[in-house]
Structure 1
């Protein structure tokens, strides 16, 4: 058996062991799309310490799985996410040490570890589509801001609520939202803590598509994910990597980066297959990575 097959088989076996706070499923074995569901509906999917272990593990496994060409991040129950569980927040913010400097350093390390979980979403090489319904608050906004495409239903609303807990949001909203919705809109959300309804979220660019109902959103997101999964994985990974890197560069630096990237990746079998398929007027058959 090839090494890639062993890696994929091992990842699939690990996924079957399950997660404490997530459900990971492939609804249709013939479609290379996997869903990660936040799965604490009774607690409105509030984020616990186990979540911050579960999510990067799930993403790392799906990143290695050839049958996962696109990922949908969704949630069970009536709400997407109520933010960080308050008991988790209390435990994180109260490191036990008589030495104030040591306590501060411990708290800093804890925050950085939590940030890494959210950043794992955008660092995953596969495209991640967020399907948002109901409340998306605090840590939920951090989470969806790290996704590649964000969709919601008309009943969804968004709020950066950390200011009402007497703290600054520290898991990515303040860093990612300005480039998504603009500085003014991000400042409005972060400083007021107000709820932003779906229509306004669409107008400011926080989401790209709003569906009339949750069922319509689920159907629409499934279609988006299927479309992504049909494209070249090499192209998907490259596009995502270049866009993320270019976000923090000047235009000239970004152009230099993509030139370097494509000098290594442009001579792929997928490019040859895409051109051949165009000429033969058929669907391409891309490599499994």
Structure 2
């Protein structure tokens, strides 16, 4: 497994098809560094292409999930855009390309065919919200706290929160959280629909992540991949468009060996065994 500066990637247990991606800058509260934006999409794409990987768990080392983008990274981006050209238009175009590169690192989570489950503890602020809203399922400890922090730093959030959060918590709630930058608790995040479940301790959270990931990994990889793909693709479609899209998807994917294996396992009262993706 490749070594990273800002991350750790590991198999959950021997011969498991569940892998963990761990934000690994605990002394900096896992602030997102320049290294992270290079390494994270690479790690996610490698896991996506690995046939031995069925499910990815995103978590973090130390006391906090993520404190947002590293201030040094922000300063570096600002300096680059200002120093390389006195032409405001060219500097702006260069900055736009840099922002798009940062966005791609987060969007890699959605583009990954495998489901990504995130476990949150401690602070989840700014860029941390960008990350978790791009994940497929979100859980946290009861002492976790959240903030869409960018307006307090004189920034318009630009890595995906403003695009993804409204469809998760509702437009009005997203407006409230993004415009006020207020801190909100895990209990409120659960009430808003940002979290699926909240756990009393980190140990309970980690145990649940492992259990749910293993259960998911035992399912048909084609069905899991298709469910994620259709949900993401059709969230902004009309009902008619969405139904048409899933009909087209299943016309290509439905009649698979996975379906034969699932039916055979059901008839013979055994657990199905599916081929790797």
| Structures share fold, TM-score greater than 0.5 | yes
Aligned partner of 1:74 in structure 2 is 59
How far 1:93 sits from its partner (Å)?
2.8
Deviation per CA, 1:49-69, whole angstroms, max 9, x where unpaired? Answer: 110111111111101112210
1:185 Cα deviation (Å)? 1.1
Secondary structure at the residue paired with 2:276? coil
Task: After TM superposition, give the deviation of residue 30 of structure 1 in Å.
Answer: 2.8
Partner residue, 2:45 = 60
Indicate the residue corresponding to 1:34 in structure 2: 19
Is 1:140 the counterpart of 2:128? The answer is yes
Please point out which of 99, 102, 106 is paired with 1:118: 106
Deviations 1:187-231 (A, max 9, x none): 111011011101000000001010111110000111111111111
Correspondence list, 1:70-219, <5 A: 70-94=55-79, 95=81, 96=83, 97-219=85-207
Report deviation, 1:182: 0.4
Shift of 1:31: 2.1
CA distance in 1, matches of 2:24, 2:61: 5
Q: Which runs of 5+ in 2 are unaligned?
A: none
1:27 Cα offset (Å): 2.4
SS at match of 1:263: helix
For 1:210 and 1:63, locate their aligned partners in 2 and report how far apart those are by CA, in whole Å.
Answer: 27
RMSD: 0.8
* Cα displacement (A) at 1:264: 0.4
CA distance in structure 1 between the partners assigned to 2:88 and 2:158 by the alignment: 20
Q: How far apart are the structure 1 equivalents of 2:90 and 2:183?
A: 37
Is 2:31 the counterpart of 1:43? no
Q: Deviations over 1:11-56 (max 9, x none)?
A: xxxxx22111000001212321000000000000000111011111
Task: State the distance in 1 between where 2:15 and 2:97 align.
Answer: 42
Query: For 2:160 and 2:269, how far apart are their aligned partners in 1?
Result: 44
Residue 241 of structure 1: how far off its partner (Å): 0.6
Correspondence 1:232-243 to 2 at 5 A = 232-243=220-231
Give the aligned partner of residue 266 of structure 1.
254
